[in-house]
Copies of this chain bind each other. A is one copy, B any other.
Amino acid sequence: MKALGRQIVVEFYGCNQDTLNDVAAIKRSMRGAALAAGATIVQDAFHLFNPHGVSGVVVIAESHLAIHTWPEYGYAAVDLFTCGDDVSPDLAFQHLKEHLGATSFSCMEMKRGILDTPGLDELRFKPEGANALEVADAN
């Protein structure tokens, strides 16, 4: 089952509540997670809510990482969506787990875009001219 993308859905519990309400710390952790995964950061958007809680997304060349925090519950909802075999969402997960100080978590992985398409085995990553068809042509 070859898929275009992988998405790791994480529930982080027992996180450091101060960290979860610190938009600069969350942004740093999320950008650090993207880099730890080997991803290329394209853009980000982070927002601190009133009275508390942070939402943020890092758009990467290989898809996106998203987080929503509820400091009052020590809880953060995280999505790590990547495509291609050149990035490791597992490393992003480890980075975030450590930086949020999560004491427990649950995790689920989904394949996104399961296609029965000739040449898809050759897909390395989506952007920068290396789409499946071109790689297939080059071989």
**Could you list which residues of chain A lie within 8 angstroms of chain B, going by C-beta atoms?**
4-5, 7, 9, 11, 42-45, 47, 49-53, 55-57, 59, 61, 63-64, 66, 68, 70, 72-73, 75, 77, 79, 81, 83, 110, 112-113, 115, 117, 126-129, 131-134
Alpha-carbon distance A126/B50, docked complex (angstroms): 9
A55 → chain B closest CB, angstroms: 6
Copy number in the complex reads 2
Alpha-carbon distance A8/B80, docked complex (angstroms): 15
- With A42-B55, A57-B66 given, is the CB distance from A126 to B77 under 8 Å? no
Q: A73 touches which one: B4, B52, B53 (CB < 8 A)?
A: B4
- With A11-B113, A45-B59, A77-B81 given, is the CB distance from A129 to B51 under 8 Å? yes
Residue of B nearest to A110 (CB): B9
A102 → chain B closest CB, angstroms: 13
Q: A70 touches which one: B59, B66, B70, B126 (CB < 8 A)?
A: B126
Do B56 and A59 have beta carbons less than 8 Å apart? yes
Q: A4-B75, A50-B128, A75-B115 are in contact. List 11 more A-B contacts (CB 8 A).
A: A5-B68, A7-B9, A11-B112, A55-B59, A55-B63, A57-B59, A66-B66, A68-B81, A73-B113, A73-B115, A79-B81
